[in-house]
Chain A
Amino acid sequence: MQPNFTQNLLSKSRKKLLFGMTSLAMLTLGLLLSSASTKPTQAAPYLGCSASGYIFKYQASPDTNVQAIDMVTGQGSNAGTLTSRNFNAVGYNPKDNYFYGWDLTGSGTFMRVKNDLSAPESLTISGYAGPTTNIFSGDVDEDGYYWFFTVSGGTTTWHRINLNTATPTFVETGTTANPPGAEGTDWAYLPGTDNLYRGMDNGTNITIVAFNRTSKTYSTVGVVSNITAAADRNMGAVYTDPNNNLYMSSHQSGKLWRVDLTDSAPFTALELGASDPESNDGARCALATVPIDFGDAPNSYLTLIDSDGPRHSIINFDLNASTAPLMLGTHIDTEVDGLPGVLAKGDDADHQGLAGSQYIDDERGVTSIIATPGTPTTLAVPVRVTNNASSIATLAGWIDLDSDGVFETGERVIQSIPASSGAKYYKLTFPSTTFSANTYARFRVFTGAVANPLPSGSAAGGEVEDVLVQVGSYDATKTADPVEGSQVSPNQTVTYTITIKNTGATALTNLKIDDDLTNVLDDATLGSITVSPSVSGTATASGNTLEFVGDIGVGQTTTVTYAVKVKALGTLGNATLTNSITAAHSTSCHPDVINNAAVTSDPDCQTSHPISTTPLPSTGSNILKSLAVVGGLLGVATFGLFMSRRRPKLRAE
Chain B
Amino acid sequence: MRKQLTSRRIWLGIFLVALAAGIYLLLNILAPNYIPSNPVSAQEQLQKTTPATQENRLYIPTIGVNVAIVEGTSEAVLEKGAWHRQPQNGNPEKGGNFVLSAHRFQLGLTPQQTSAKSPFYHIEQLKAGDKISVDYGQKRYTYEVVKRYQVDRFAVHIEAPSAIAKLTLYSCDLRGEAMGREVVEAKPLF
A binds B: yes
Interface residues of A (CB under 8 A from B): 482-483, 486-492, 569, 612-627, 629-631, 633-634, 636-646, 648
Q: Which residue of chain A is the closest to B14 with respect to CB atoms?
A: A640
Q: How far is the CB of A566 from the nearest CB of chain B, in Å?
A: 9
A569 proximity list for chain B (CB < 8 A): 154
Contact check: which of B15, B101, B160 meets A482 at CB < 8 Å? Answer: B160
B18 proximity list for chain A (CB < 8 A): 633-634, 636-637, 640
Sample of 5 further A-B pairs with CB below 8 A, known A489-B151, A615-B177, A640-B18? A488-B157, A616-B154, A633-B18, A633-B25, A643-B7
> Are B154 and A637 neighbours in the complex by a CB distance under 8 Å?
no
Alpha-carbon gap, A622 to B177, bound state (A): 7
Alpha-carbon gap, A25 to B11, bound state (A): 107
Residue interface mask B50-72, A partner, CB < 8 A = 1: 00000000000000000000000
Alpha-carbon gap, A624 to B17, bound state (A): 22
> Are A640 and B11 neighbours in the complex by a CB distance under 8 Å?
yes
A646 proximity list for chain B (CB < 8 A): 8
> Are A648 and B11 neighbours in the complex by a CB distance under 8 Å?
no
Contact check: which of A614, A622, A626, A637 meets B14 at CB < 8 Å? Answer: A637
B102 proximity list for chain A (CB < 8 A): 619
Residue interface mask B106-134, A partner, CB < 8 A = 1: 11000000000010100000000000000
Tally of chain B residues near chain A (CB < 8 A): 53
Q: Which of B102, B156, B177 has the most CB of A within 10 A?
A: B156
Q: Can you list 24 residue pairs at the A/B interface with Cβ under 8 Å? A: A482-B157, A487-B157, A489-B152, A489-B157, A490-B155, A491-B152, A492-B157, A615-B177, A617-B78, A618-B177, A619-B104, A619-B172, A620-B118, A621-B176, A622-B175, A623-B175, A626-B107, A627-B26, A630-B29, A637-B16, A641-B12, A642-B11, A643-B14, A646-B8
* Nearest 5 interchain pairs by C-beta: A640-B15, A633-B22, A620-B172, A620-B104, A622-B176
Alpha-carbon gap, A483 to B97, bound state (A): 14
B157 proximity list for chain A (CB < 8 A): 482, 486-489, 492, 612
A644 proximity list for chain B (CB < 8 A): 8-9, 11-12, 15
Interface residues of B in 170-186 (CB under 8 A from A): 170-177, 181
B181 proximity list for chain A (CB < 8 A): 616, 619
Alpha-carbon gap, A643 to B5, bound state (A): 11
Contact check: which of A612, A615, A621, A642 meets B107 at CB < 8 Å? Answer: A621
B98 proximity list for chain A (CB < 8 A): none
Contact check: which of A482, A615, A629, A640 meets B154 at CB < 8 Å? Answer: A615
B163 proximity list for chain A (CB < 8 A): 483
Alpha-carbon gap, A622 to B103, bound state (A): 11
Q: Which of A487, A569, A637 has the most CB of B within 10 A?
A: A637
Alpha-carbon gap, A101 to B38, bound state (A): 100
> Are A636 and B14 neighbours in the complex by a CB distance under 8 Å?
yes
Residue interface mask B78-110, A partner, CB < 8 A = 1: 100001010000000000000001111111000
> Are B160 and A486 neighbours in the complex by a CB distance under 8 Å?
yes
Q: Tell me if B147 is interfacial: C-beta within 8 Å of chain A.
A: no
> Are B19 and A637 neighbours in the complex by a CB distance under 8 Å?
yes
Q: Tell me if B164 is interfacial: C-beta within 8 Å of chain A.
A: no
Alpha-carbon gap, A486 to B155, bound state (A): 13
Contact check: which of B19, B83, B153, B154 meets A634 at CB < 8 Å? Answer: B19
B25 proximity list for chain A (CB < 8 A): 626, 629-630, 633
Alpha-carbon gap, A261 to B50, bound state (A): 97
Contact check: which of A490, A642, A648 meets B152 at CB < 8 Å? Answer: A490
Alpha-carbon gap, A309 to B89, bound state (A): 62
A615 proximity list for chain B (CB < 8 A): 153-154, 177
Contact check: which of A619, A633, A637, A641 meets B171 at CB < 8 Å? Answer: A619
Q: How far is the CB of A593 from the nearest CB of chain B, in Å?
A: 35
Q: Which residue of chain B is the closest to A643 with respect to CB atoms?
A: B11
Q: How far is the CB of B190 from the nearest CB of chain A, in Å?
A: 25
Alpha-carbon gap, A627 to B102, bound state (A): 21
Q: Which of A486, A623, A625, A644 has the most CB of B within 10 A?
A: A623
A642 proximity list for chain B (CB < 8 A): 11
Q: How far is the CB of A332 from the nearest CB of chain B, in Å?
A: 41
Alpha-carbon gap, A46 to B159, bound state (A): 56
Q: Which residue of chain A is the closest to B9 with respect to CB atoms?
A: A644
> Are B22 and A634 neighbours in the complex by a CB distance under 8 Å?
yes
> Are A614 and B177 neighbours in the complex by a CB distance under 8 Å?
no
> Are B29 and A617 neighbours in the complex by a CB distance under 8 Å?
no
A630 proximity list for chain B (CB < 8 A): 22, 25-26, 29
> Are A627 and B29 neighbours in the complex by a CB distance under 8 Å?
yes
Alpha-carbon gap, A441 to B1, bound state (A): 112
Q: How far is the CB of B65 from the nearest CB of chain A, in Å?
A: 13
Q: Which residue of chain B is the closest to A569 with respect to CB atoms?
A: B154
A645 proximity list for chain B (CB < 8 A): 8
A618 proximity list for chain B (CB < 8 A): 75, 172, 177
Alpha-carbon gap, A97 to B93, bound state (A): 80
Alpha-carbon gap, A624 to B172, bound state (A): 13
> Are A623 and B174 neighbours in the complex by a CB distance under 8 Å?
yes
B107 proximity list for chain A (CB < 8 A): 621, 626
Contact check: which of A488, A612, A620, A634 meets B103 at CB < 8 Å? Answer: A620
Q: How far is the CB of A611 from the nearest CB of chain B, in Å?
A: 9
Q: Tell me if B4 is interfacial: C-beta within 8 Å of chain A.
A: yes
Q: Tell me if B161 is interfacial: C-beta within 8 Å of chain A.
A: yes
Alpha-carbon gap, A618 to B181, bound state (A): 9
Q: How far is the CB of B82 from the nearest CB of chain A, in Å?
A: 10
Q: Which residue of chain B is the closest to A488 with respect to CB atoms?
A: B157
Q: Which residue of chain B is the closest to A627 with respect to CB atoms?
A: B29
Q: How far is the CB of B112 from the nearest CB of chain A, in Å?
A: 16
> Are A489 and B172 neighbours in the complex by a CB distance under 8 Å?
no
B83 proximity list for chain A (CB < 8 A): 617
> Are A620 and B105 neighbours in the complex by a CB distance under 8 Å?
yes
> Are A613 and B176 neighbours in the complex by a CB distance under 8 Å?
no
B104 proximity list for chain A (CB < 8 A): 619-620
> Are A619 and B175 neighbours in the complex by a CB distance under 8 Å?
no
Q: Tell me if B21 is interfacial: C-beta within 8 Å of chain A.
A: yes
Q: How far is the CB of B8 from the nearest CB of chain A, in Å?
A: 5
Q: How far is the CB of A263 from the nearest CB of chain B, in Å?
A: 65
Q: Which of B159, B160, B171 has the most CB of A within 10 A?
A: B160
Residue interface mask B25-65, A partner, CB < 8 A = 1: 11001000000000000000000000000000000000000
B101 proximity list for chain A (CB < 8 A): 616-617, 619
> Are B4 and A612 neighbours in the complex by a CB distance under 8 Å?
no
Alpha-carbon gap, A643 to B120, bound state (A): 42
Contact check: which of A492, A613, A624, A643 meets B175 at CB < 8 Å? Answer: A624
> Are B106 and A489 neighbours in the complex by a CB distance under 8 Å?
no
Contact check: which of B13, B26, B85, B156 meets A489 at CB < 8 Å? Answer: B156
A613 proximity list for chain B (CB < 8 A): 154
A620 proximity list for chain B (CB < 8 A): 103-106, 118, 120, 171-174, 176-177
Alpha-carbon gap, A627 to B171, bound state (A): 20
Alpha-carbon gap, A442 to B150, bound state (A): 56
Q: Which residue of chain B is the closest to A613 with respect to CB atoms?
A: B154
B175 proximity list for chain A (CB < 8 A): 622-624
> Are A633 and B21 neighbours in the complex by a CB distance under 8 Å?
yes
> Are A491 and B155 neighbours in the complex by a CB distance under 8 Å?
yes
